[in-house]
A and B are shown apart, each in its own frame.
Chain A
Amino acid sequence: MAEWKATKPNNKALAWVEERLPIISLVNNVVGKDTPTPRNLNYWWNFGSLAGLMLVIQIVTGVVIAMHYAANTGLAFDSVERFVRDVNYGYLIRAMHANGASFFFIAVYIHIFRGLYYGSYKAPRELVWMLGLVIMLLMMATAFMGYVLPWGQMSFWGATVITNLFSAIPVVGDSIVTLLWGGFSVDNPTLNRFFSLHYLLPFVLAGVVILHLWAKKISDSGNPLGIDVKSGADQIPFHPYYTVKDGFGVAVFLLIYMCYVTFMPDALGHPDNYIPANPMSTPDSIVPEWYFLPFYAILRSITFDIGIPFTDVVIVPAKLLGVLAMFGSIILLFFLPWLDTSKVRSTKFRPVYFWFFWILVADMVLLTIVGGKKPEGIWPVVGLIGTAYYFAHFLVVLPLLGKIEKTLPLPESIANPVIKAAE
């Protein structure tokens, strides 16, 4: 377990603060020179800091946009256009915010898949993993409500489709929907509360990030070999070694991000959102942003009721089942540390899981494709298969595989990764 080390700053002012509030120790112990970190982290470990960077960019650009935004159905669309056209650098700040959401998700999704590959969710890091999932859920809620704010066609119809999902919940569903809407349809009260929550949740998220890092400190960072730190020789100080490496990652990631922002700011958006919201006209197809597509595919893949066979009794209607499947697909991940029964963390030493990991990645790509298609022809069937596989991976494959897989011998230590001869 990681130990906390008190920092004694040389600077008098900092020392004065440190004596009263050990905040410098906090930073030093979590991402500083007093944070012993495995010496073998590869570039996949860069995406945590990149996600943190995107959170900061989103908050800074978002606060500026909020200074010019009018949360009113009659003014919202115009206020965004005015910001883009007439406010200094508005075009840049808005493009950074809109594309920032996508790049935040890119960083977080890669960060999560890194966790899946290297078993970062296994003991003693279960809470790091679960707090990360809370962050992802907060991100999803924030991103969804943010997309509603420009009050374009996709904003309005996306809000209508997604809020309507809650009506599937038995007994209280309709009341929840009325509460979300603040009335009887998506309208001005909906826009107002979404704006309020869109501003609030990122700060809640930032708080959970601190918990996430704190839990990471207690359990130490994982590493690509998935074995525990044995001695000091396995570790290097986080600062300056991983700060400079993260800095390099930041430069490369920002480079790609700014290419989108300046050269193709609308490439990841939907053209329909440049049409002001019109409750009287439904768009051709209502498509969520790309980062929701796999979950949207899971939602739509369930088109059958569950009932008592040979009777008309319906126990779980299709709509509720779809909603349960969608939320369940994420809730399921909270149980991953116990669903995966293998004691070996890193996929490097799990030759069979290696294939299942990549099949899961392919399955998510497939579901992303299905989510973007109209539910006709072959797509609903493909979606159903993809959904079934997703659940099977976590509920069937992982529990069984841990029991039967013959894993490879683990190296003795990080500093000395000589694989013990398998005898």
Chain B
Amino acid sequence: MITMKFVKNIAIALAAVAGLSGAALASAGADKHPMEMEWEFSGPFGKFDLASTQRGWQVYKQVCSNCHALKYFHFRNLSEIGYEENMIKAFAAEYTVAGDIDDAGDPTERAGRPEDAFPSPFANENAARASNGGALPPDLSLIIKARHDGANYVFSLLNGYEDAPAGHEIPAGKHYNAYFKGGAIAMAAPLSDGVLEYEDGTPATQEQMAKDVVNFLTFVGDPHMQTRHQLGVAIVLFLAFWAAVLFLSMKRLWKPVKEGKNFYEGK
């Protein structure tokens, strides 16, 4: 009896520790709770929605990249979301990057190549601030991982622009967004219906673009997610099999022990 109660108690205690430490960590974050969206990448079998991720790349390139850098993203990474090598070369070549120092010791410029990182829109932090009313547009490489409930948060933020409620003062150059901490964000609403035309013909509504760019940024933040999920399923199956084999071996091996065999007769 005591054993059963004991096991039950510790199970409850452990569950409480696990659950509450998670809850404790969740306390930081935005003011308004983000909308709960369904994402194809969530869960143990989650994978990237390639079509949406590709559209998201288009949104990032045409809209976000005017202000936001993506320093950990390289053009070569586009092969992981289904682009062919010649297309990647073409994407990269649209940009000019710093080349080697030439024989005369002068800096040079050249067209981008697949191995280059995505060029930053600004030369440095001061230039970025100067162009954005003193605010620094954050690098988006890890934005999904660097915010609590990141995918839902970014999606909500992009769709969260509205008129400030009465009595809520918004400083000049700021915009009201209920999902942003404090409510006043320096970024003006970046997306609105038809701000771009999708290459695949999908209607470019604000929600669609927000969803697509979140899919893209999730990929950029965690490019190995899908591989990791697949590996995880294989590992879990392998370990479950191994656990079963070991359990059965143990039961068989322990039989004489359970039957009371004395291994140290006469000692």
Q: CB within 8 Å of B: which residues of A?
A: 36, 39, 81, 84-85, 91-92, 95, 231-233, 235-237, 240-241, 244-245, 247-248, 251-252, 254-255, 258-259, 261-263, 265-268, 270-272, 274-275, 283-285, 287, 290, 293, 348, 354, 358, 361-362, 365, 368-369, 371-374, 415
Chain A residues within 8 Å of B236, by CB: 255, 258-259, 262
If the complex has contacts A235-B263, A251-B242, are A259 and B24 also in contact, measured as CB distance less than 8 A?
no
Q: CB within 8 Å of A: which residues of B?
A: 2, 9-10, 13, 16-17, 20-25, 27-28, 43-44, 72, 141-142, 145-148, 150, 181, 221, 223-224, 227-229, 231-232, 235-236, 239-240, 242-243, 246-247, 249-250, 253-254, 257, 260, 262-267
Q: A293 to B223, Cβ gap below 8 A?
A: no
Chain B residues within 8 Å of A362, by CB: 13
A237 touches which one: B22, B228, B263 (CB < 8 A)? B263
Rounded to whole Å, the gap between the CB of A117 and the closest CB of chain B is 8
Q: A274 to B146, Cβ gap below 8 A?
A: yes
B25 touches which one: A232, A254, A270, A274 (CB < 8 A)? A270
Residue of A nearest to B139 (CB): A276
Q: B229 to A262, Cβ gap below 8 A?
A: yes
Chain B residues within 8 Å of A372, by CB: 20-21, 23-25, 27
> CA A236 – CA B260 in complex, angstroms?
10
Chain B residues within 8 Å of A358, by CB: 9, 13
Q: A255 to B240, Cβ gap below 8 A?
A: yes
- A and B contact pairs by CB, cutoff 8 A, 15 listed: A39-B257, A85-B72, A232-B262, A233-B264, A240-B253, A259-B232, A271-B145, A274-B221, A283-B28, A285-B28, A368-B21, A369-B20, A372-B20, A372-B24, A372-B27
Rounded to whole Å, the gap between the CB of B68 and the closest CB of chain A is 14
If the complex has contacts A290-B21, A365-B16, are A248 and B264 also in contact, measured as CB distance less than 8 A?
no
> CA A284 – CA B146 in complex, angstroms?
13
> CA A258 – CA B243 in complex, angstroms?
14
Rounded to whole Å, the gap between the CB of B183 and the closest CB of chain A is 15
Rounded to whole Å, the gap between the CB of B140 and the closest CB of chain A is 12
A-B interface contact total, Cβ < 8 Å: 141
> CA A84 – CA B221 in complex, angstroms?
10
A251 touches which one: B21, B147, B246, B265 (CB < 8 A)? B246
> CA A361 – CA B147 in complex, angstroms?
32
Rounded to whole Å, the gap between the CB of B43 and the closest CB of chain A is 8
Residue of A nearest to B265 (CB): A232
Chain A residues within 8 Å of B28, by CB: 270-272, 283-285, 287
> CA A248 – CA B254 in complex, angstroms?
13
Rounded to whole Å, the gap between the CB of B256 and the closest CB of chain A is 9
Chain B residues within 8 Å of A373, by CB: 24, 27
Q: A285 to B27, Cβ gap below 8 A?
A: yes
Residue of A nearest to B16 (CB): A365
A244 touches which one: B232, B249, B262 (CB < 8 A)? B249
Residue of A nearest to B261 (CB): A236
Chain B residues within 8 Å of A92, by CB: 228, 231
A274 touches which one: B13, B27, B142 (CB < 8 A)? B142
Residue of B nearest to A371 (CB): B24
> CA A270 – CA B145 in complex, angstroms?
9
